[in-house]
Structure 1
Amino acid sequence: MAQRLQGRTALITGSTSNIGRAIAVAFAAEGAHVVVSGRDEVRGAAVVDQIRQKGGRADFVRADLDGTAAASHRLAAQAAEVVNGRVDILVNNAGIYPPTTTPTTDEDTFDRVYGVNVKAPFFLTRALVPAMIGAGGGVIINLGSWIARLAVPVSSLYSSTKGAMETMTRAWAAEFGPRGVRVNAISPGVIVSPDRDTATDHPGEVMMRGTPAGRSGHPDAIAAAAVYLASDEAAFVHGTVLDVDGGRTGVAVVAV
């Protein structure tokens, strides 16, 4: 069976753990040369080693996407250098989730969350899209969240940043789609890292009660969706937010 991403290059931000790591591993398994990116060099090296041991191609580029345009532009340049050309697929996955409510959110926290979750991917996309257009095509995948549309009484700040990413997905699809760059998003439900302490219950499990899935999801579910959106199988898919949430947002929840 042919690998769906053979010969392509991909940059996945925040790919040293959890969803980002799963996407990086899945892309490499499908033939892509993957740029693993994040702040932790040790964890980054571990992901690269995991990919290479299975015969895949991967390199690590350390990046602290703090929201400055300079940081995003620097990562774009380093990623292009590592893959000896251009990045074909960009996955804007990196984000932070401070456990704050509106009354407890100060201005510094507000600016930091918007900087990492919105401003950084905006300028990273801005830096990489011209080369994609020049080469005749590319793919951008953004990570949204189910709580951008189904409100919960906490994390209004985080929710609003993910709403912004889903809105930019549609705007970028209109802006870049006619020039060959497909833009879509994935909206994960409650995803629990396999690295978590299984001795204690994850609070997200409560949020999945009564859904069709009835449980939290694994990062591999998001990775599978990302592979689809990055591949030619999704050539006719533009500006879509793909819910991978166990039915959390689309199906009425029955309390159990």
Structure 2
Amino acid sequence: MSMRLEGRTALVTGSTSNIGRAIAEAFAAEGAHVVVSGRSAERGTEVVDGIRALGGRADFVRADLDGSAAASRRLAQEAAQVLGGRIDVLVNNAGIYPGDATAATDEPTFDLVYAVNVKAPFFLTAAVAPAMAEAGGGAIINLGSWVARLGIPVGALYSSTKGAMETLTRAWAAEFGPRGVRVNAISPGVVLEPAPGEAHPAEVMMNGTPAGRLGTPDAIANAAVYLAGDESAFVHGIVLDVDGGRTTAAVIAA
């Protein structure tokens, strides 16, 4: 074990399942003290227990990031308290995905998706980044998506929120980078938790790509470890595509 994040603290939002869980587990395996956060205490406790069973350090802080500044500030305060007063790494992972077509999307859904996917990480970053700067630096990792740059005929609302997060990544890099806080993003491709022996309809979306297969949450977690660690000390404002080549190479249908 390399322990690349030993002595550091991290808050990972939406980390009770899937990509967020994989990131929390990877950070802990690399030596970080991690706050696992989400709405379900039951699932959060399961993740924390699993990390601790392997010798890692983790605690659960329940949060319903509804987009209000108060909810984001509350999570920042509670997480910092659990982590001994500081957050070295923030991963803005929590989000929701409604797959409706544009004409089928009502206004309450529009407002909710932007609240959770954009407003919540905006105000969480606003609460955490200045404290990071005052403490000497830190790293913020946002989650984008391949659908922010490659159009698909459903989920326009979700795609637009991920485009917003990628834009915020560049703006925040310019705003906070000079104060010692690196801000970058990861753009996952078609990623699913592995289910051995089971085919998934999404597999067709990776046909003809360089990877030729679905990604797993571990692939995103490995990228997050890199962006959180010292190896990426000169990396600011990028969107790292971890998508099996879905957006970078022409997809040739077989």
Matched, 1:139 2:139: yes
Corresponding residue for 2:217? 219
- What CA deviation, in whole Å up to 9, does each residue of 1:2-57 have, x standing for no partner? 41101000000000000000000000000000000000111100100110001000
3-state DSSP of counterpart to 1:184? strand
The correspondence of residues 130-169 of structure 1 with structure 2, limited to 5 A, is 130-169=130-169
1:158 & 1:14 partners in 2: Cα distance?
A: 16
- 1:43-192 equivalences in 2 (<5 Å): 43-192=43-192
Change (3 A) 1:190 1:109: same
What amino acid sits opposite 1:248 in the alignment? R
> Aligned with 1:90: secondary structure?
strand
Q: Separation in 1 of the partners of 2:127 and 2:144? A: 21
Q: 1:97 to 1:198 in 2, by over 3 A?
A: farther
Amino acid at match of 1:28: A
Aligned mates of 1:49, 1:245 — CA distance in 2: 30
Fraction of identical pairs, as percent: 76
> Does residue 1:232 correspond to 2:230, yes or no?
yes
After superposition, the C-alpha distances for 1:72-103 in whole angstroms (9 at most, x for unaligned) are: 01100100111111100000000000121100
Q: Residue deviations 1:143-191, cap 9 Å, x none?
A: 0000000110110000000000000000000000000000000000000
Total equivalences in the alignment = 254
Change (3 A) 1:51 1:65: same
Give the match for residue 207 of structure 1: 205
Structure 1: 4+ residue segments shifted above 4 A: 196-199
CA distance in 2, matches of 1:226, 1:11: 12
* Residue 243 of structure 1: aligned partner: 241
How much has 1:202 moved relative to structure 2?
2.0
Q: Within 1, Cα distance between the matches of 2:186 and 2:203?
A: 20
**Partner amino acid for 2:214?**
S
1:13 aligns with 2:13: yes
Letter in 1 for 2:152: V
- Give 3-state SS (helix, strand or coil) of 2:102's partner: coil
Residues 53-73 of structure 1: CA deviation (Å, up to 9, x unaligned): 010000000001011111101
TM-score of the pair, normalised by structure 2: 0.98
Deviation at 1:136, TM superposition (A): 1.0
Give secondary structure in 1 for the equivalent of 2:11: strand
| Matches of 1:226 and 1:203, distance apart in 2 | 27
With normalisation by structure 1, the TM-score equals 0.97
| Counterpart secondary structure, 1:142 | strand
Structure 2 unaligned blocks of 5 or more: none
Partner of 2:253: 255
Q: Which amino acid aligns with 2:20?
A: G
3-state SS of paired residue (1:67): coil
Counterpart secondary structure, 1:103: helix
User: Are 1:36 and 2:36 an aligned pair?
Assistant: yes
